[in-house]
Amino acid sequence: MKFLVIQTAFPGDVILASAVVEKLHEFHPTSQIDFLLRKGNESLFASHPFLKKVLIWDKRKNKYSEILRLLSEVRQEKYDYVINLHRFSSSGFITAFSGAKNKIGFDKNPFSFFFTEKYEHKIGNGIHETVRNQKLITKLTNEKSAKPKLYPSEKDFQKVSEYKTEKYVCIAPASVWFTKQWSAHKWAELINLIPIEQNVYLLGAPSDFSLCDEIKSSTVNHKSSIVNLSGNLSFLESAALMKDAEMNYVNDSAPLHLASSVNAPVTAVFCSTVPEFGFGPLSDKSFVAQTTENLPCRPCGLHGKSSCPEKHFNCAESINAQDVISLSLTK
């Protein structure tokens, strides 16, 4: 059989979708599994052992011509199953006219009436996104859910080996959404509480370099090495570094799922969003830090916002750095 999995959203969504690949391979080990994603996320699967082909959608090109190009590529493959985890019209169009024998997706997709099977996607009931996704393939597998998994290569581990000579923690302080991002001064407070024998590595994209530098310059009480690695590591190199950290401190953002994908210890800070949406950590050693205040404005949205609608950002400011450290020291 030939499978195509579609998830063209942000990196975190693609990482969580890797659980579907794991599950399909477990039950159909000799089948071909391909993945369609947006350009920029393909490096996540650079060394993935279960994927034969990664189809790339360049969203910076002309939208309609690029969709038609992808549709042609998909139709040529003659898939038995197209499994669409994305809930928007562009991917729905490709799924609907893919020519696949079986077209499976969520009922929220505008093209779902063309699907052979469609399932409810409900957020807010505490069910994890990986479980929601795997409902689409229950008939092909079983009801037990797999975890997301990425495969950093030996080269990825070699790239970060120089940073592993002493104990260390990783911090990924940025997020695409402002209200998902713990404040810079809070991250600095956290670093000042980290034991001095542990080095600190700040992770992120090139665009996060200035934020990490701001945090680093504010940590005057921390005596160990603080290294700003923003923009210096790929997704898989970052995962390779996170895997052996004493702890990884992240927001409700892609680095959280990167840690889960290699079962790295992780403490996730939730500001405007809540774990009940279904995007919490899945590592064996994982913790969630969030405000203990009863804020009527929280959550203010599924994805967060560009600024605090109430102008106070208490969902982040009321999270105590000492409490976050204490959580992560739990055995």
Q: Parse the chain into domains and list their residue ranges.
A: 2-140, 154-328
Residues of the chain with pLDDT > 70, as a percent, come to 98
Sign, CA torsion 152/165/174/108: positive
Sign, CA torsion 261/266/272/275: positive
Tell me the β-bridge partners of 287.
267
| pLDDT score recorded for residue 330 | 66
Q: What is the mean pLDDT of the chain?
A: 95
Identify the CATH assignment for 154-328 out of 3.40.50.720, 3.40.50.2000, 2.60.40.420, 3.30.565.10.
3.40.50.2000
Per-residue pLDDT, averaged over 195-217, amounts to: 94
- Do 2-140 and 154-328 have matching folds? yes
| pLDDT score recorded for residue 195 | 85
Edge-to-edge strand ranges of the sheet holding 117-119: 53-57, 32-38, 2-6, 81-84, 102-106, 117-119
Instruction: Tell me the pLDDT tens digit for each residue of 109-160.
Output: 999 999 999 999 998 888 999 999 999 999 999 989 999 999 999 999 999 9
Burial of 206: CB neighbours in 10 Å, binned 0-12, 13-18, 19+: exposed
Residues of the chain with pLDDT > 90, as a percent, come to 89
Question: What is the DSSP code string of 121-187?
Answer: ---SSS--HHHHHHGGGGGGS-SSPPPP-----HHHHHHHGGG-SS-EEEEE---SSGGGS--HHHH
**pLDDT beyond 90 at 173:** yes
Q: Where are the beta strands (DSSP E) in the chain?
A: 2-6, 32-38, 53-57, 81-84, 102-106, 117-119, 168-172, 199-202, 226-228, 247-251, 266-270, 286-290
Instruction: Tell me the pLDDT tens digit for each residue of 66-113.
Output: 999 999 999 999 999 999 999 999 999 999 999 999 999 999 999 999
Question: What is the DSSP code string of 287-313?
Answer: EEEE--S--TT-S--SS--SS-TTSS-
Q: Is the CATH number of domain 2-140 3.40.50.2000?
A: yes
